[in-house]
Amino acid sequence: MNPVYFIGQSLTHAIYESLFSLRLVGYEKLIQEGPCIIVANHQSFLDPPLIGGIYETPVHFLARKTLFDPLFMKYTLPLCQAIPIDQAKPDPGSILKVMRLLKDGERIVIFPEGARSPDGKIHKAMPGIGLIIGKLASVPVQPIRISGAFECLPIHSSKLRFRPITVSIGNPIPFSSEERRAKGRQAQLAIGQKIMDAIGALPIEI
């Protein structure tokens, strides 16, 4: 674990508990060991450190490649274990890197919507998530729902508010071999919709 990630992870959970009254629902369901794809809705810039802080060991994040454009972010995001990707149309290099990490037993966090929610609600997944899931047969896909982060730091505001945040963790989403092998945009969209439905079905308890 690199020092930047270690320090951030050590502080994050305590900060969220004290300042945002963080509540975890279904914590016992978290996959703490072995390869896993973690899928979550995206409400705020608070989401990545929030999810990273609830795991006992480091996780990797798929991040929109344009976030790496500023020079500062180009060097900082990799230290936070972020991997650049075009979520609408993932390139082979990014998918291979994800596959290597999962093969090594790592966990990958993906925000299927591809960007922060404009209104706090759950929106459609970008088709790229279906392509990624289809390439990674047998890897569990665990849904997480974030509630309250939008109220703390919405997309069009720079003012941080200290409101309660709840993170709900669900059981892995079941995908049949037929679903994972399906090809084409419609099949990818169907996988994305199934993922967002699973996230949306998780309880909101604030």
pLDDT digits 0-9 by tens, 104-121: 999 999 999 989 999 999
- Check if the beta carbon of residue 8 is closer than 8 Å to that of residue 52: yes
- Mean pLDDT computed over 98-108: 91
**What pLDDT digit, counting tens, does each position of 33-80 carry?**
999 999 999 999 999 999 999 998 889 998 888 888 887 788 788 878
- Check if the beta carbon of residue 1 is closer than 8 Å to that of residue 58: yes
- Mean pLDDT computed over 148-173: 95
**Confidence band of 137 (pLDDT split at 50, 70, 90):** low
- Check if the beta carbon of residue 129 is closer than 8 Å to that of residue 87: yes
Which CATH superfamily is 3-200 part of?
Answer: Glycerol-3-phosphate (1)-acyltransferase (3.40.1130.10)
Q: What is the pLDDT of residue 1?
A: 60
Burial 57-72 (b: 16+ CB within 10 A, else e): ebbbbbbbeeebeeee
Q: Which residue has the tokens 């798929």?
A: 62
**Confidence band of 93 (pLDDT split at 50, 70, 90):** confident
**What pLDDT digit, counting tens, does each position of 18-32 carry?**
999 999 999 999 999
- Check if the beta carbon of residue 140 is closer than 8 Å to that of residue 31: yes
pTM passes above 0.85: yes
Tokens of 157: 């505001």
